[in-house]
């Protein structure tokens, strides 16, 4: 994998990727939660990674910068995808990585993140959730864990569990955080698990 910049943390988890709705205002609860969480995690030394757009992505960059943290955005500027939010002038990171299309962007986000945090969003967030989940199953034991931010995720996961062929291994690769304050302890729990592995990469 490509070397990740800005990380001075000693553990396995260095970069944390944020995913979520682009079409929310700064007063939306999801925005304020993403901002606060990025601020907390950046203060702990984690690099915050996002897709460079507005909404949750801009909240992640801005929250991290408020506490003096480092930020990376992974962007692409589509010409034939009017339904995509594109780059956002208000999202100004320490480093921008430019990709050529949505799929490349999503997988580059998955590459750079050591843990993924998924907030409320639309079809784009659903695709990112599904990708994170299937990669965790495919690379189980060397997988990258993820956090579903918000208590509503429990109902969503329960529907999948009841109606789809989801096994216990697939249910073990993520945690649901009911509130912002739950996330850092979950990440530290992931870190403890990852420390027992010989190596950690997709």
Domains defined along the chain, listed by start? 15-195 (3.40.50.450)
Q: pLDDT per residue over 59-90, tens digit each? A: 999 999 999 999 999 998 776 666 566 678 88
Give Cα separations from 98 to 34, 69, 81, 180 (angstroms).
23, 21, 16, 30
The values of phi and psi at residue 115, to 5°, are: -140, 145
Residues 144-192 pLDDT 10s: 999 999 999 999 999 999 999 999 999 999 999 999 999 999 999 999 9
């Amino acid at each position: 994998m490509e070397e990740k910049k800005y990380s001075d943390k000693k553990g396995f988890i260095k970069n944390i990727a944020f995913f979520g709705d682009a079409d929310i205002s700064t007063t939306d609860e999801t925005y304020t939660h993403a901002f606060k969480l990025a601020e907390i995690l950046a203060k702990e030394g984690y690099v915050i990674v996002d897709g460079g757009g507005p909404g949750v992505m801009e909240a992640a960059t801005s929250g991290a910068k408020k506490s003096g943290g480092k930020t990376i955005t992974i962007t692409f500027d589509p010409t034939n995808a009017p339904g995509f939010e594109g780059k956002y002038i208000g999202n100004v990171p320490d480093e921008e990585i430019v990709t050529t299309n949505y799929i490349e962007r999503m997988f580059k986000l998955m590459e750079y993140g050591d843990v993924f945090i998924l907030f409320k969003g639309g079809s784009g967030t659903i695709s990112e959730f599904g990708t994170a989940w299937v990669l965790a199953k495919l690379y189980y034991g060397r997988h990258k864990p993820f956090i579903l931010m918000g208590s509503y995720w429990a109902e969503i996961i329960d529907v999948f569990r009841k109606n789809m062929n989801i096994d216990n291994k697939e249910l073990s690769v993520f945690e649901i955080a009911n509130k912002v304050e739950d996330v850092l302890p979950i990440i530290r729990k992931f870190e403890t698990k990852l420390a027992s592995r010989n190596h950690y990469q997709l």
